[in-house]
Structure 1
Amino acid sequence: MAQFVLFFCCCFTVVFLCTATIRCFLAWDTAVQFVPADSGTLLPQFISAGWISLSIGLYSALLLSLSYAARRRIPVIITRLVSFILALGFTWAISLGLSRLPESIGTGPEKGPATLGKPGLLLSEADTVIVLLEDPAKKDGPRVVSIPGRPLIYQEVPRGPGNTILDLPPILFHQEDPLSFKALLIDMTLTAGQFRTRLQEGLVPFAAYVGALIFLLVSLDFVLHLSSWPLANLFFGALAFRGTLVFESFLNSREIQGGIHAFLKNRLPEFLISPLIFVVIGLLLILYSLLSFFAWGRRTPDEN
């Protein structure tokens, strides 16, 4: 059991730190894509990256740890209990730390990343090409615009309707992410938003939501015992966790929450709606695993 605790702690810590580092670099990358570069502190973006990394770390650590426990044949009850306690403790501690970080640092002027490029920088959007004739950091500098089928346009002062300065297209360093990865990142972001909002509402709403979500996730550990192939079980577990993430985003949508709240007619506090559904589904899954165990018994690997 000590090895399982160490494995969970290492998984959560490594996944959280690595993901947070990558997300911070992506936030910096997004800031320097603008011309001129996005001004102001990047600390709010870094804090948001920490919240997203927390949700990714929670799902990943639980999935990997439950898979590890299945391979090591650790008793299911002990695995669920220890995983629940560790996951709730890590999530609460990191959330509390992120919530106490300041949104900005008051010492000295706020500085963003430097604008990339030099005079002559070419920016393209669709079939339009813009050539900046002065330092790209100068927002209202002269530019030349090339539009297909039309002569070159020289803009000494690039102002549009209402005497506003026309925005420049960003500098793109990478291709668009696949739709499946985008959808996963969006769902993780929504989960992180729920953590952040619930903690702002109070410790009880936060503990109720996070505890119920972790309870639902650990109740899925029977998926990791479906076959004698650990890698296949890990794949099935990843699908089950992905489905839970989709269901969580669906359940927390404004339309679903409004419909359930209207149906209950204020019989239940709004912050308990999602946690109660998570707990009920988790209990049904635990009941299913118990009935399967008593109906079929514990199968040996040769019987799978």
Structure 2
Amino acid sequence: MAAAEKPFRSVLYVPASNPKALAKAGSLACDAVILDLEDAVAPGDKQAARANLKDWFGRRPVGSPTAIVRVNALATEWGADDLALARTLEPDGILLPKVDTPRDLLEAGDLLDEEAVPERVKLWAMVETPRGLLNLGAIAELGRDPAARLAGLVAGTNDLVKETGVLATPDRRYLVPWLMQIVLSARAGGLVALDGVMNDFRAAALFELECAEAAAMGFDGKTLIHPAQIGPANAAFSPSETAVAEARRIVEAFALAENAGKGVIVLDDRMVERLHLAQAQRLLARAAAAPATDRSEKDP
């Protein structure tokens, strides 16, 4: 089995204009942080936020979560300076907001290549505009081209609500078709798919339900706005103990000498195909990447 990839179950937005929040970012139990220069930073605070970010990377703790910098759109007055800073900081990823077309990503990638930024610095795309949704297939295809650096898609649900006028109901019924489109496109492009934020971080039960539904939709994780959301997100997007045990039984059954080369076997009076073996192997890889202390004890 291939080495397990790093999980992105819990991805916390941290305003770069908030030194106190930044100071905590390196020690949180989330899988990644999005150090935000865009929506969470007022226009008058952009310069100070960049200075804070430079200081944070200069003292970034060993073992800190994956660090992704969200820049302002390149078309704005702040975008070029944000990207120039991100190039020098060499974070794990750079999140581009309001991606409308593949060209938005290709232009940013060209700028990174010009400055010889290491290939490990990946690009992430916010899906938060009608044009972005309409062009999502072409955007996701960039994931198949290593030179494009694209690593994942992030649902910008608040902006989608604003731009389309759909009603933001607690069950997200009007957003679900677009969320499923994001997951489908991510799978086609071999990308990570992250669900959007839930604004009311005090509604713990509703947040757990939203995480469970996002996991059922196929998302790899969820973007967060408060540290209190980290634990529930980690649990929801980690395989349950029951699922892990079942996956191991499938892998072990196919490894038996009498099943060598078989495309279909019988396990507990049910048919199990090699596609189920592939699913089991992927689940075990996810489980290996997720700390055991974070894994949910409940069935999905």
- TM-score of the alignment, normalized to the shorter chain, above 0.5: no
| TM-score band w.r.t. shorter chain | under 0.3
Q: Give the TM-score of the pair, scaled to structure 2.
A: 0.22
Higher helix residue share:
1
Q: Give the TM-score of the pair, scaled to structure 1.
A: 0.22
Question: Which structure is larger by alpha-carbon Rg, 1 or 2?
Answer: 1
